[in-house]
Chains A and B, each alone.
Chain A
């Protein structure tokens, strides 16, 4: 299967700082990448859909100015959590999808963010 990486795998930061998370498709070109947030023992909540070369589409209730998404190339999307606060602490997971009708998404290993 296709491989998606995320960096960093975990990060601890102080309240008020910004954190950037990278999502890369290693062996395929991802026309679309998705960003999810998952709180402990809960489901994956879709935050936004990212397409290469265009603005991300955010889900209802997700602040686009707080969660900045850039899909700079067909293999890289970044999520920046700006002015992070303790309530932003969560597991952030990206997924990548190739073009075509089949809907398999390949998930990255996730990034555990802890805001102190």
Chain B
């Protein structure tokens, strides 16, 4: 089977740094993706890690440790518009690289 665990909620203030962790158990693994979803909206792609290490894209960074089956999303210089749900997703082995999503972390950014 496959499972992903991430915190259900995180609260932070504007300008702060937040780290959202994700641990996974899968029968096959290609990589770990992160998606952002605002209420009522579609998920938008943030980052993808296939190899160990840190990937940085502007204010967002993502880290992967394949040996620990662990990754995290780091959000810096938080803004109010970053309030959203964040999902980690594992690309499993198989023909079409389908994504299996975690339950999501609801981030609330306060002034």
Q: Are A105 and B99 also in contact (CB < 8 A) when A43-B87, A44-B87 are?
A: yes
A45 to B96, CA, bound (A): 16
Q: Per-residue CB proximity of B27-40 to A under 8 Å, as 1/0?
A: 00011010100001
Q: Per-residue CB proximity of A103-116 to B under 8 Å, as 1/0?
A: 11111111000000
Q: Are A97 and B42 also in contact (CB < 8 A) when A43-B103, A103-B48, A103-B91 are?
A: no
Q: Chain A nearest CB: distance from B95 CB in Å?
A: 8
Count B-side interface residues using an 8 Å CB cutoff: 23
Q: Chain A nearest CB: distance from B72 CB in Å?
A: 18
Chain B residues in 8 Å Cβ range of A32: 96
Q: Per-residue CB proximity of B93-107 to A under 8 Å, as 1/0?
A: 000111111111010
How many of chain A's residues touch chain B, expressed as a range? 20 to 34
Q: Are A104 and B98 also in contact (CB < 8 A) when A93-B43, A109-B41 are?
A: no
Closest to A93 in B: B42
Chain B residues in 8 Å Cβ range of A93: 42-43
Q: Are A104 and B42 also in contact (CB < 8 A) when A43-B101, A46-B100, A97-B97 are?
A: no
A56 to B57, CA, bound (A): 35
Residue from the list A49, A108, A110 in contact with B98, Cβ < 8 A: A49
Q: Per-residue CB proximity of A44-59 to B under 8 Å, as 1/0?
A: 1110010100000100
Chain B residues in 8 Å Cβ range of A109: 41-42
Q: What residues of chain B have their CB less than 8 Å away from a CB belonging to chain A? A: 30-31, 33, 35, 40-45, 48, 87, 91, 96-104, 106
